[in-house]
Amino acid sequence: MGERMVIKKTLSIIFFLILISTSFLSIAYNEKKLDSLYEYHTNYPGSTGDYAWLVSDMQNLNSSYPEIFELYTAQDKFGLPDVVHGSEVYKTWIIRITNESTGFNKPEVLFIGCHHGDEKVSVEAAYYLAEWLAEHYYNDEWIKYLVDHREIYIIPLANPYGWVHHQRYDENGIDMNRDYPYDPSSHIFSTIGARAIHELTKRHLFINTVSWHGGTEMIIYAWGCYAHTSNTESPDDIAFYNQGKYMSQYAGPYSGYYPWGRANDILYPCYGAYEDYAYAMSWDLPNADPNWPTNGCYSLTHCVEISSSKYPPESTLGGRADVYTPGGDEDGYVPKNIRLALLLIDIAQPYIRITNILPDEIYVGENITFEWKVMGALNTTETNILYGTDPNPIKNYTYSTPIQSGGTGWQNVTYYQSINLSQPGDYYFVVRAKVDQDMLQQNNPDPSIPPQSLYVNMRTNDSWNISNYNNTLEGRSEWYSEIIHIYVMSNEVKFNLSFSKGWNLITLPVENNYTASSLYADIPGCNIILSWNASIADFDLYAPGVPNDFVIENGTGYLIGVENDTFLNITGMPIESVNVPLYIGWNMLGWFNSTPTNASSLLNSIPECNIVLKWNNSKEDFDLYAPGVPNNFIIKQGDGFLVAVDEQSIWHG
């Protein structure tokens, strides 16, 4: 009980954080409508369903959102007869929601309301899911992602006659949810609604499916037929269990969390039911009627019993304000089941969301921190970053970060990784993930074969593929984010030192590894290098044949003798500061800063400095600055200079 209370208190926060952290925050397109309560498409508390009202609302959505919303009938699409009883004529309406401009052959999901006409709450869950998707497409980034990357099919009213007349059965007194050709009853496809669902199913590859009902509160799945009563574990039992668990959790606490399990274990078996048909008709052939072959039935299909009453009071339906806040004041059966449906739409295909803003450029040595969520799945088996200088790091990467594992965005898990690059250049990064590999686990399935569902195979089996009409799915065990390009800039600077024939007083203004001999070798026409040794007040000299190879120090000046005008190009890291001991008397320093200075500034910044000298090559003599001498010359980056001081100190530049 304590654990359930913790979940109840934190569920709305977790759900909200999932939406926020992936930038999936809904903004109301219409505040009045957002705050309005859901209502039945019926003359509540009477017993009839208002068919014209429901059709009008669907048509209004269709006309208001033509870019993403398609409405048609099974009669027009598949050539099925109308639902007719006396003067009453009804059609089977099908909603398709997707953005065709983002492509086709997307993961498909299906939601069905009202197999049983008296279970009126199921119609509202299905219709208001369609409304939420349509009306939030343009201002809710998560909904936009789902509609752009999924094909969502919704049949709000599978049994229109039964709904209008508040009866379980269709116009001919047939139970539509006993009318399918898997472990069949005495009738197969005697109802227009079941035939319509079959015609749709056999043309598609629905990964996740929900059939909404009412009369109890639970989530049930295969097995639920008499053919599998002795052993109720299906080949996809772990996947069913995991989906049911998170469907219950994210549906939320309203009226209690839904229990979940195999239909044969927690409810009862039946013949010819939709759920086992949609899951197993295409592969469990010994229990499938061969007169109705289909390649579309591999779906993880759940029967969601919404409420203990088939027609609960309208006040229990809830409101639009709390679709994203389970447990809120306007939570109810409709928001609860919209949340459940959004979970199933999301997990129809894995994807990775990088959740922080990454720079386009950085400097060598800077850390890049990646933050990401693994979405479209329930468990992260592995995730890490692949990167290198090839524009396609999926196929060609040089480096990979340590593998992490754990939850997904549906448990509000964010992964972090810092990367430090020591070499400049163009780098390309991709986040990789393997997901839901635990769903391959089995105990004692009936039949004893590997998982058969589209959901499991498409994310675990690299050699698997399936086609049905114009739909194709291929198995992948690894999923990738978008490729991120970051240019890593060098901190090194290039500097050109010019030398005039004769003597030159210079410094090297970048970090370097020179000695006198290597510097001598790199300067064309160099014949001598002098370094002033202030501690002994004399020069150290390097020239060929003189074995005095001293180190070239930062912040120190050097006299370079060259035979002709020449130059030296040097590349290195900028010098930030130096620590040059100053001795009483003369000291030879070098200006390494990119910003020029002048003689008076130097004199005033160095304790007890009384004179500054700079070599003037054109005059072959020093320029002098001292108090009272108006020759405040400029000292630029790369210039050496001499200072005379009356006390010891440390010069930092």
Angstrom distance (rounded) from CA 265 to CA 268: 7
Residue pLDDT, tens place only, 238-257 = 999 999 999 999 999 999 99
pLDDT at 546 (0 to 100) = 86
pLDDT bracket for residue 6 (50, 70, 90): very low
* Mean pLDDT calculated for residue range 603-608: 96
Record the tokens describing residue 79, joined without a space.
């050539």
| Confidence band, pLDDT 50/70/90 cuts, at residue 20 | very low
pLDDT at 49 (0 to 100): 74
Domains of the chain: 2-346 (3.40.630.10), 351-489 (2.60.40.1930), 493-651 (no CATH)
Cα–Cα dist 323/343, whole Å: 13
User: What is the token pair recorded at 503?
Assistant: 């003597």
Tell me: pLDDT of 1 over 80: no
Q: What is the DSSP string of 407-445?
A: --GGGT--EEEEEE--S-EEEEEEEEEEE-GGGG--SS-
Stated as kind and residue range, the H or E segment containing 127 is helix 121-135
Beta bridge partners of 111: 154, 210
What radius of gyration, in Å, describes the C-alpha atoms of the chain? 38
Mean pLDDT of the chain: 94
428, 420, 418: which is closest to 393 by C-alpha?
A: 428
470 pLDDT band, cuts 50/70/90, is: confident
Q: Which structure tokens are listed for 159?
A: 């049994």
Q: Tell me, what's the pLDDT at 103?
A: 92
* Cβ 109 vs Cβ 209: under 8 Å: yes
Number of residues assigned to the chain: 653
Q: Is the pLDDT of residue 16 over 80?
A: no
Average pLDDT over residues 116-131: 98
Dihedral angle computed from the Cα positions of residues 53, 56, 58 and 63, in that order, rounded to the nearest 10 degrees: -160
- Closest CA relative to residue 34, chosen from 153, 128, 145, 148: 128
Quick check: 42 pLDDT over 90? no
**Which residue from 226, 198, 127, 213 is spatially nearest to 168, judged by alpha carbons?**
213
Which stretches of 281-411 are DSSP H helices? 333-346
pLDDT number for residue 629:
86
**Averaged pLDDT, 286-291:** 97
Long-range pairs for 69-78: beta carbons < 8 A, 24 or more residues apart: 69/95, 69/96, 69/97, 69/130, 69/134, 70/95, 70/96, 70/97, 71/95, 71/96, 72/96, 74/192, 74/195, 74/196, 74/199, 74/200, 77/199, 78/196, 78/199, 78/200
What was the pLDDT predicted at 10?
46
Burial of 41 (0-12, 13-18, 19+ CB in 10 A): buried
**Range 315-320 average pLDDT:** 98
pLDDT at 455 over 70: yes
SS3 406: strand
pLDDT band at 48 (very low <50, low <70, confident <90, very high): low
Q: What is the pLDDT of residue 259?
A: 99
pLDDT band, very low/low/confident/very high, at 60 (cuts 50, 70, 90): very high
Query: Helical H runs in 387-525?
Result: 454-460, 516-522
**Mean pLDDT, range 421-440, rounded to an integer:** 97
The DSSP code for 137 is T
DSSP string covering 84-119, please?
EETTEEE--EEEEE--GGG-SS--EEEEEE-SSTT-
* CA gap 370, 433 in Å, rounded: 14
pLDDT tens digit string along 221-242?
999 999 999 999 999 999 999 9
Confidence of residue 262 (pLDDT cuts 50, 70, 90): very high
pLDDT at 12 over 70: no
Mean pLDDT of the 607-613 span: 96
pLDDT at 73 over 60: yes
Q: Is 183 helix (H, G, I), strand (E, B) or coil?
A: coil
Which segments of 287-423 are extended strands (E)? 300-305, 351-354, 361-363, 367-375, 380-388, 399-400, 404-406, 415-420
Q: Is the confidence at residue 21, as pLDDT, over 90?
A: no
Q: What's the whole-number mean pLDDT along residues 459-468?
A: 97
Q: What is the pLDDT of residue 35?
A: 58
**What was the pLDDT predicted at 22?**
40
Bridge partner list, 499: 566
Residue 291 has pLDDT above 70, yes or no: yes
Residue 628: pLDDT band with limits 50, 70, 90? confident
As a dihedral over the C-alpha atoms of residue 469, residue 475, residue 479, residue 483, rounded to 10 degrees, the angle is: -60
- Name the 3-class secondary structure at 318: coil
Note the pLDDT tens digit of each residue in 189-225: 999 999 999 999 999 999 999 999 999 999 999 999 9
pLDDT at 545: 87
The widest CA-to-CA distance across the chain, in whole angstroms, is 120
DSSP characters over 525-576: TEEEEEEEETTTTEEEEE-TT-----B--TTB-EEEEESS-EEEEEEEPBP-
Closest C-alpha among 213, 220, 244 to residue 307:
213
CA gap 452, 475 in Å, rounded: 12
- pLDDT score for 493: 87
Burial 558-568, CB ≥16 within 10 A → b, else e: bbbbbeeebeb
Residue 25's pLDDT band (boundaries 50, 70, 90)?
very low
Tell me what pLDDT residue 5 has.
40
Q: Position of tokens 């089941």?
A: 337
- Element containing residue 329 per DSSP (H, E): none
User: Measured between alpha carbons, how far is 113 from 150 in angstroms, rounded to an integer?
Assistant: 20
Residue 415: Cβ within 10 Å count:
24
pTM for the model stands at: 0.81
pLDDT at 547: 80
pLDDT band with cut points at 50, 70 and 90 for residue 55? very high
Distance of CA 170 to the CA centre of its chain: 45
Confidence (pLDDT) at 202? 96
